[in-house]
Amino acid sequence: MDLGIKGKKALVCASSKGLGKGCAMALAEAGVDLTICSRTESAITATAEEIAGKTGVSVTPVACDITTAEGRAKALAAAGDIDILVNNAGGPPPGNFRDWDRDDWIKALDANMITAIELIKATVDGMIERKWGRIVNITSSSVKAPIPILGLSNGARTGLTGFVAGLARETVRDGVTINGLLPGPFDTDRLRGNMNAQAEKAGRKPEDLAAERAAGNPAGRFGTSEEFGVWCAFICSQHSSYLTGQNILLDGGAYPGTL
């Protein structure tokens, strides 16, 4: 299927690996020129070379912390006028809310709510003027069904989702859609890291715990970054102009509700 976005320009945040990289690769395969970013310079440069080498599009790597004002300014300056924005950042740590103070909350809100809102603010009016834009926020299945140990994530990401629900209805008339993509368990370094920590606590082998969790998903496995990326590219395609303010859950059927 031709996604109809060849030659468009995208900023894909937090994308040297994992879900962000999956989105960047799928957009590049659709012919989109990219600016990608992450904090580790060597990693983002290597990913840019890999994507450009495989797809032939232009890929500009930016080493920055997207959760800071300076980092966002650097990424936006490199990206220029963009048609597509994919918001992503590292997730907050697990824990018990009794141990979190105001600074912990501000950090989580900064990373997983305000960063995305600031990047939308910086880019959405240009998209509206040009009468075309796609914004995808990578959030989490925790928006739909809270994960008890991830209270910071539950709170911050649901805040972003609530804000976007209003804005998405204001921009679609001008060709700009805003949607959320909600990952359940995807086989990335973050998932493996969380699993290693849980296995250590439980005195179990990480590979046993991972196999048990994967088998417990209705799909019998974790998702892959590649299949996540393809959804992102489709939401950014010409075919998705009537889809806005939606939150699409990709979790292998783990969420047990009818709707």
> Nearer to ligand NAP by C-beta: 16 or 161?
16
The binding track of 54-73 with respect to ligand NAP, each residue x by CB under 6 A or -, is -----------xxx------
The answer to whether the CB of 129 falls within 8 A of the CB of 176 is: no
Which residue, chain included where needed, has tokens 């937090």? 14
Q: Is 180 in the site for ligand NAP (CB under 6 A)?
A: no
Pairing of the two strands 247-250 and 33-38: unpaired
| Residue 60 near residue 35, CB atoms below 8 Å | yes
Q: Does 189 bind ligand NAP (CB under 6 A)?
A: yes
Under the criterion CB under 6 A, does residue 35 sit at the interface with ligand NAP? no
Q: Is 92 helix (H, G, I), strand (E, B) or coil?
A: coil
* Cβ(252)–Cβ(218) below 8 Å: yes
- The stretch among 88-96, 97-105, 161-169, 210-218 that binds ligand NAP (CB under 6 A) is 88-96
**Member of 4, 31, 43, 132 binding ligand NAP (CB under 6 A):** 43
**Residue 257: Cβ within 10 Å count:** 7
Q: Which two three-digit tokens encode residue 57?
A: 């599009």
Segment lying near ligand NAP (by CB under 6 A), choices 34-42, 51-59, 94-102, 119-127 = 34-42
Stretch that binds ligand NAP, among 54-62, 99-107, 128-136, 187-195 (CB under 6 A): 187-195
For residue 2, the minimal CB distance to ligand NAP (Å) is 27
Q: Which stretch binds ligand NAP (CB under 6 A): 97-105, 123-131, 134-142, 163-171?
A: 134-142
Q: Is the separation of the CB atoms in 14 and 88 below 8 Å?
A: yes
Which residues on neighbouring strands pair with residue 138, listed in sequence order?
181
Tokens 């976007």, located at residue: 164
What distance, in Å, lies between the first and last C-alpha atoms of the chain? Answer: 28
CB of 212 to ligand NAP, least distance (A): 16
The site for ligand NAP (CB under 6 A) is made up of 14-20, 37-40, 43, 65-67, 88-91, 138, 140-141, 183, 185-186, 188-191
